[in-house]
Amino acid sequence: MDQQFDATADAKGQKCPMPVLLASRQLKTLRPGQVLLVEATDGGSKSDIPSWAKDTGNELLDSSVEDGIYRYLIRKS
Amino acid sequence: MTDAVPEDEAPKSMTIVAWSGDLDKIWPTLILGSTGAAYGMKTTIFFTFWGLFPLVRDDVRITGTNAMTKALAGMNPPGVSNMKLSKLHMGGAGAWMMKKLARDNKVASPKELLEMCTELGVNLWPCEMTMELMGLRRDQLIEGAGDPVGAASALSEMSRSQINLFI
């Protein structure tokens, strides 16, 4: 994942529902078109973050996992 | 944020009636409420009867001015950090173990979730009638609490919500 991002929501170590809450809080600070990186270790984020991004009308650009850390890139619409 | 999603696809509004002050009910209520707001839904929690106690500040010990409201508050301390389990509370040991497990597993506490609810803009509506019943004052509620309302306001909000829960 070498894409640029404008802000990070660090939810590592936190369980449901914190990754979505922290991502939402951080996304509010961005302007449309900017990209948010969400980092989480909670396995529930695998389904939660993509569905949250879709249902709020934002675009999930990429998701990956490395060393137990899930990373999601979301473009604010 | 939800504007990009067609109206029939994503819910716009959720109302939860929190009637219970039990830890095992208020905890999921706060998880769903905060997540609803994160989802961009207009989210309202109507705190009524025993459900109002979590909206009282943790440091409030005595509520009301008569012997019964004071005794009830003494037996059942209000405040989101003081809620008891409905089963196997075991004089506090059950709730303590549950909170310790949660802390060890980095699960957010009810207090943290209530703060997230406030921060994310969840409407926290205290029930006016319960406040009068228990002799509670506005200044005894947490900062994020809204204006006290009645059952009709709660129903009005529910009639406009796609998701309605009674927990």
pLDDT of residue B142: 95
Domain B10-166 has CATH 3.40.1260.10: yes
In total, chain B counts a number of residues equal to 167
What stretches of A1-77 show up as alpha helix (H) in DSSP? Answer: 18-27, 45-55
HEC states along A21-33? HHHHHHHCCCCCC
Higher-scoring residue by pLDDT: A17, B5: A17
Which of B37, B108, B119 shows the shortest C-beta gap to A18? Answer: B108
For residue B127 the two structure tokens come to 């029930």
Instruction: Write the CATH number for A59.
Output: 3.30.110.40
pLDDT over 50 (residue A10): yes
Token pair listed for B136: 């509670």
B51: left (phi over 0), alpha (psi -120 to 50) or beta: alpha
Active-site residue identified among A7, A16, A18, A21: A16
Q: Which chain A residue is nearest to residue B31, measuring alpha carbons?
A: A17
Q: Look at the alpha carbons of A74, A26, B104, B36 in this order and tell me if their dihedral is positive or negative.
A: negative
A59-68, B49-58, B78-87, B125-134: least confidently modelled range: B78-87
pLDDT (0 to 100) of residue B1: 47
Q: Which ipTM value was assigned to this complex? A: 0.80
Pick the range with the lowest mean pLDDT from B3-12, B37-46, B53-62, B152-161: B3-12
- Give residue B7's pLDDT: 53
Number of domains in chain A: 1
Is A29 within the bounds of a domain? yes
- The contact set of B with A (CB < 8 A) is 1-5, 9-10, 31, 34-35, 37-40, 105-108, 116, 119-120
Residue B55 corresponds to which tokens in the numbers above? 């909206």
pLDDT digits (tens, 9 = 90+) for B43-96: 999 999 999 999 999 988 877 888 888 888 877 888 998 888 888 888 888 888
**Domain region containing A20:** 7-75
- CA gap A57, B154 in Å, rounded: 28
Q: Is A2 inside any structural domain? A: no
pLDDT at B39 over 50: yes
Domain ranges of chain B: 10-166
The verdict on a CB contact (< 8 Å) between B106 and A13 is yes
Query: Rounded mean pLDDT of chain B?
Result: 89
Task: Kindly give the pairing relationship between strand A59-66 and strand A69-75.
Answer: antiparallel
Find chain B residues with C-beta within 8 A of A14's C-beta: 106, 108
